[in-house]
Amino acid sequence: MAVAVQPSPETRKPAQPMSLVAASLIGTVLVLAAIAVVLHGVPWLWNAIADSVGVRDTLVRVFVRVTAQVAAAIGLIYLGSRLHGDKPPTGVRGGIFFMILVAFTVFFCVRTLADVATRGFTFGGLLVMLLLAFALFLVVQFFRTGRFTQWSMALDQGGWFDTHNYKKTQGLRVRRLTILGILLIAGSGVMSLMSHHWLPENSTVKFPDATERSNRLGDWVIGGTYEPVLEVPKNASDAEKERIRLENRSRPRVDGGITVLPDLKYTVPLILIAATLWFAWRVVNYPTFADFLIATEAEINKVSWTSRRALIRDTIVVLTSLVLITLFLFVVDLFWGWLLSQPWIAVLPTKEEQAIHGKSTDSKPVTDW
């Protein structure tokens, strides 16, 4: 008996989500645009408003600018959190992180290659070019082999970019001490950077038009031109020397270009401190390490700590024993020194021999004891 089977409708494949590379690239552009707005857009807008209104007080201008930047940063972070929703695709945040690292790596490699090529080909320059070319090859392999997707998803699954606390009520003391230790280590490094003046610093220079501006030597500038101090020719006239002297009041300086980070003396420590705070907070909430800290505190709680009275009593006993042993060894040392220096034993020099050797100008160490 034949049975008619009605053909089933064609099954549609679910729509594939955007690839991780493309999503990470879009997110990177948005993050860099937000950073540009906070670091450059807000200061430019406030300076224009302050100049039009007539605000001249430096303290007021800086206070309002920093407040506006902080408010803009909070607003953009909130907007970004609303854009990706409550459950963003796994790996996007890690992908944005790696995209930014790759962008900076490629930029510095290409820039260094261009600088080396313009200076001429030397053995050291060729070696640097080979190393940079190898670094660019690794970047290509990072995407081609799929490591980008694997590592991005591993970062997200590890919770490095989450804001939740892992078992937030357990192991609080050990976690806080761990955070304090990380902050102390990083803080000492930041203090060393600042105290040893390893970070470039801006200075105020006077231009020939009687205006004072920053020389931008302490800024991270891309595409700028470095203007060194002019040398005065030996046969220059008095007018030429005066002109060069006035011109050098505004040198050395950096002209043109795009300022990526202003005032590296302050922005670099702030960035390092912020990154350390985030790292310290996330590392104590990383599941594997957090479980280890929780277990450590649980074992510490099992320790039977001595009472204050017993601690004082035991300390007195230890110190008394130390003093008595010291006195005993001192007396024994004196006795054996006296005994072995007697003439009828003559193992150590007698007092008379020690006095003779002490007065002799060409005394030699006693070797026939």
Contact indicator for 88, 146 with CB cutoff of 8 Å: no
Instruction: Report the chain's mean pLDDT, rounded to a whole number.
Output: 84
DSSP 242-304: HHHHHHHTT-SEEESSEEEES-HHHHHHHHHHHHHHHHHHHHTTSHHHHHHHHHHHHHHHTS-
The answer to the question of residue 351 being in a domain is yes
Q: Of 293 and 62, which is predicted with more confidence? A: 293
Mean pLDDT of 261-277: 90
Burial zone of 115 (CB within 10 Å; 0-12 exposed, 13-18 middle, 19+ buried): exposed
Residue 8 maps to a domain: no
Per-residue pLDDT at 17 exceeds 50: no
Over residues 117-140, mean pLDDT: 85
Burial class (CB in 10 A: 0-12, 13-18, 19+), 235: exposed
Region for residue 256 given its phi and psi (left: phi exceeds 0; alpha: psi -120 to 50; beta: otherwise) = left
Residue 332 within any structural domain of the chain: yes
274 within some domain: no
Task: Express each pLDDT in 75-126 by its tens digit.
Answer: 988 888 777 666 677 888 889 999 999 998 998 888 888 888 777 777 778 8
* Confidence band, pLDDT 50/70/90 cuts, at residue 39: confident
Tell whether the model's pLDDT for residue 6 goes beyond 60. Answer: no
Residue 62 phi, psi (nearest 5):
-70, -40
Number of CB atoms found within 10 A of residue 70's CB: 12
Q: What are 205-216's pLDDT values in tens digits?
A: 888 777 788 899
Average pLDDT over residues 327-339: 92
The pLDDT of residue 304 is above 90: no
Instruction: Give the residue-averaged pLDDT of 260-286.
Output: 90
pTM exceeds cut of 0.75: no
Tokens read off for 77: 């972070």
Dihedral class, residue 85 (left if φ above 0, else alpha if ψ from -120 to 50, else beta) = left
Query: Is 245 contained in some domain?
Result: yes
Q: Quote the number of domains for the chain.
A: 2
What pLDDT shows up at residue 98?
93
Residue 10 has pLDDT above 60, yes or no: no
Q: For residue 324, is it within any domain?
A: yes
Q: Cα(78)–Cα(66) distance, rounded to whole angstroms?
A: 18
Residues 215 and 205: their CA atoms lie apart, in Å, by 6
Residue 258 lies in a domain: yes
Cis-peptide into 252, omega within 30 deg: yes
Alpha-carbon gap, residue 365 to 310, rounded angstroms: 52
Quick one: pLDDT at residue 85?
Answer: 64
What range defines the domain where residue 221 resides?
204-229+239-262
Q: In the predicted model, is pLDDT for residue 325 greater than 90?
A: yes
Question: Is 334 among the domain residues?
Answer: yes
Distance between CA atoms of residues 164 and 95, nearest Å = 20
Average pLDDT score over residue span 331-353: 81
Strands of 142-252, DSSP E: 204-206, 212-214, 220-222, 225-227
Per-residue pLDDT, 360: 55
